[in-house]
Amino acid sequence: MMFENFTSSALALICALVLTTGAQTLAQSPCGQVAADEALYQRYPAAREAAQEEQKRLSAAQYSDRSSRVDEEVYIIPVVFHVFHDGGLEQIDASQVEDAISILNRDFRKLNSDTVQIVAGFTDLVADVHVEFRLAKRDPWGDCHRGINWIQSDLTYEGNKGDMADVVHWPRHAYMNVYVVAYAAGAAGYTNTPSNWGAGSDGIVMRYDYVGSIGESSPYRSRTLTHEVGHWLNLSHVWGSTNEPNVDGNCDTDDGVDDTPICLGSSVGVCDLSRETCGSLDNVQNYMDYSYCPRMFTGGQRQRMRNALNSSVGDRDELWTAQNLENTGVLLEETICQAHFTPNATIICAGQSIDFTDESFWGVAYWAWNFGDGTQVEGDDAEQLQHPSHVFDSPGIYNVVLTVSDAAGTSATSSTLEVMVLDQGQMGTTFTEDWEDDAGSDLGPHWSVTNPDDWWAWLVSSSTGYMSDKSLRLNNRNNNVEGELDGVISSTIDASALAEVVITYKYAFCHRYASDETDDRLKLYVSENCGQNWHLRQFHRGFTDLPTAPAMTSPFVPNGPDQWASHTEVVDNPDWMTGDFRLRFEFEARGGNNVFLDRINVYGVDTLGNVIGLDELIAAPGVSIYPNPAADRLEIAVDQLRSGDARVVAYDAAGRLVQVLFEGWWSAGRQQLQWSGLSAGAYWIAVETGETRTVLPLVVQP
């Protein structure tokens, strides 16, 4: 699919085109070029007449005489890719971008081997456009750059060029901007034709799986960018300046190029090489048709694109000047500029591996890795050292250092990254977390956050807690990025000797506006292998059980225990009972107010149903409570207690008195107590007499 957009800031209407080199076809979307032009004119009324006059000027010099002298100067266009992603497959790597540039140059320089398949009647029209594209080596500020920006943003799910350009856009007089997204409003790609309006959003938008031929894309989709650059250089579709192929009226329109026959245009994915629709053979194999078999530009299209590159409209004539090529660094030799690498994880468990990817540039020929645990590797074997994997056998914090050199032996500044290797059971078998002992916003040694650079990340708040001073808070009230994901992940819990892991926690949330309920989401995941795999265990939604307080427009802070809710989750999959058990809480923003977490308690239950793992327990012989865990109304039985004054009380997991269950004369023998009203969670039950005090753990289920 291929799409055009002539508006300068927003996706108005889209045109779709599948261009492939095999038999694969995809669904067609309607094309909206004419309506999109109209939207541009409505926004900039003066653009209508200017566009018509410029169209005449750009179309004046047609390539009608094949024997005339041909301009052989190669125009070089600096390019920058802005990869908008949310950490998914759309976060394509540099190799896929570089492959896309290679294919673009192959097609524009007529270096594609499949030109031998062009049908008779068009073989003498195939043109080398004499235009090349190169990734920028300097940014607009003159600093070293690899020509690719990675931007984590929810905008990737919309693909609105104007909105993305508000985040990042390099000057169009110096760079061709290409935006890569997860979803482009149903499109595979779209762009603007040259215009003196909309300079701040000029560029091309490409869906990530239509960029290049490798990685997340494929050879079948690899020429989408070729088609879109054709539009960016003022080419229309071969049937004319509409977005509707195979319409009878297309025989009355033209694309402004003399040597592309007037035609109806191919329907998406139809490659009929003998097709004649307007009295002559159609140029079905043209990059600007909707067939799935593109192979060529014509000489007339070549001239039209070169006309555009010599026009001041859209600043296209400034891109290939000697001064701009110097400013953008595209002619520089590939000498080392920057050392940089990325891992696929920064927190693992002992015995696991981390995959590292070198993203240094330019001209890397030699790698030296120091993994910080005594292991060092170096050499010039790119296959082994550009993407090494290393197993960390012992727990600890390690500084991984990469030093790279080019063929001349010039070394770049070393790049260093800290990785954490966890031991099994670092948090013990059971634990209670209420953040009361943590200073400032630090989550303590056993918790890490995802999206830590966002100012609305999970932080310890001293403004409130569940019957305490502190809790964990996410500043969602000021977060307007819908779909933003922010997580908090525990260290390892030793569940290897358990039959069940019982997780209890308190949470608080409210909507931002009473008239606008939003579907914000709080999720609980568990992992049996230190986070390599995660399993969703609980899903609180804004439309159902997530809100715990009335909506308020001001930043939400729960004002008491009644504005908190509890949840107890029992995990009993025997395959998950390992020493590398971890928890992850994740919040998905949908426009609601702040969210809080507190009193996270984790307890183990053995095969006999006993709650175990707390060294603080004091258990006198003959004293027991059951059932444990308990649901609904709880019964407590205390055997062999001598007659006398006694007191039975319930404390929360942090040791605070919750409820007095019994106080008075206790008759000898077996007694039973029951209550209702205790919320789900973990408690201590203390049985006290004048001489003894027995403390046992209890888990209350909903």
Buried b (16+ CB within 10 A) or exposed e, 391-423: ebeebeebebbbbbbbeeeeebeebebebbbbe
Residue for token digits 């997780």?
Answer: 503
Give domain status of residue 356, yes or no: yes
Same structural domain, 374 and 471 = no
Q: Are the C-beta atoms of 504 and 681 separated by less than 8 Å?
A: yes
**Strand 693-701 to strand 630-631: parallel, antiparallel, or no bridges (unpaired)?**
parallel
Domain boundary among 566, 582, 605: 605
In a domain, 590, yes or no: yes
Neighbouring residues of 210: CB distance < 8 A, sequence distance ≥ 6: 1, 188, 189, 217, 221, 222, 224, 225
Q: Does 5 fall in a domain?
A: no
Q: Is the dihedral of CA 340, 343, 346, 348 positive or negative?
A: negative
DSSP H/E element including 701: strand 693-701
Q: Are residues 566 and 526 in the same domain?
A: yes
Do the domain assignments include residue 65?
no
Residues 6+ away with beta carbon under 8 Å from 41 = 47, 48, 51
**Long-range contacts of the stretch 163-167 (C-beta < 8 A, 24+):** 163/9, 163/10, 164/82, 164/84, 164/205, 165/9, 165/200, 165/201, 165/203, 167/84
Read off the pTM. 0.70
Domain check: are 169 and 300 in the same one? yes
In terms of domains, do 263 and 242 share one? yes
Q: How many angstroms separate the CA atoms of 646 and 487, rounded?
A: 46
9: β partners: none
Separation in Å, CA 456 to CA 478, 520, 569, 593, 595: 8, 15, 27, 12, 11
216 domain residue, yes or no: yes
Instruction: Look at residues 296, 328, 360 and tell me which one is the last residue of a structural domain.
Output: 328
Do 300 and 388 lie in one domain? The reply is: no
Same domain, 274 and 399: no
Question: Cβ distance 236 to 288 under 8 Å?
Answer: yes
Whether residue 104 is found in the same domain as residue 217: yes
E strands, 545-632, are: 565-571, 582-588, 595-605, 611-612, 630-631
What is the 8-class DSSP label of residue 158? Answer: T
Pair (176, 284) in one structural domain: yes
* pLDDT on residue 99: 97
Report whether 335 contacts 361 (CB < 8 A): no
Quick check: is 15 in a domain? Answer: no
* Angstrom distance (rounded) from CA 686 to CA 451: 42
CATH number at residue 650: 2.60.40.2550
* Domain shared by 317 and 284, yes or no: yes
The CATH number linked to 100 is 3.40.390.10
Q: Which residue range(s) make up the domain with 405?
A: 341-422
User: Is residue 459 located within the same domain as residue 311?
Assistant: no
Of the three residues 422, 450, 469, the one that is the final residue of a domain is 422
Q: Round to the nearest angstrom and report the end-to-end CA distance of the chain.
A: 52
Residues 307 and 170 in one domain: yes
Q: Residue 24 domain-assigned?
A: no
Strands of 440-491, DSSP E:
447-449, 459-461, 471-474, 485-490
Tell me, yes or no, whether 122 lies in a domain. yes
Give the CATH number of the domain where residue 392 resides. 2.60.40.10
pLDDT along the chain (702 residues), means of 10: 32 34 35 43 69 55 41 94 91 94 98 95 96 97 94 88 94 98 83 87 93 93 92 92 86 92 91 94 94 93 94 94 97 87 92 94 92 96 95 95 88 84 88 76 82 74 86 88 87 90 91 94 96 95 96 94 88 94 95 94 73 44 66 60 70 66 68 70 73 71 73
Query: How many structural domains does the chain have?
Result: 4
Query: How many CA atoms lie within 13 Å of 542's alpha carbon, on the beta-carbon side?
Result: 23
412 and 436 together in one domain: no
Question: In this structure, what CATH number is given to the domain that contains residue 596?
Answer: 2.60.120.200
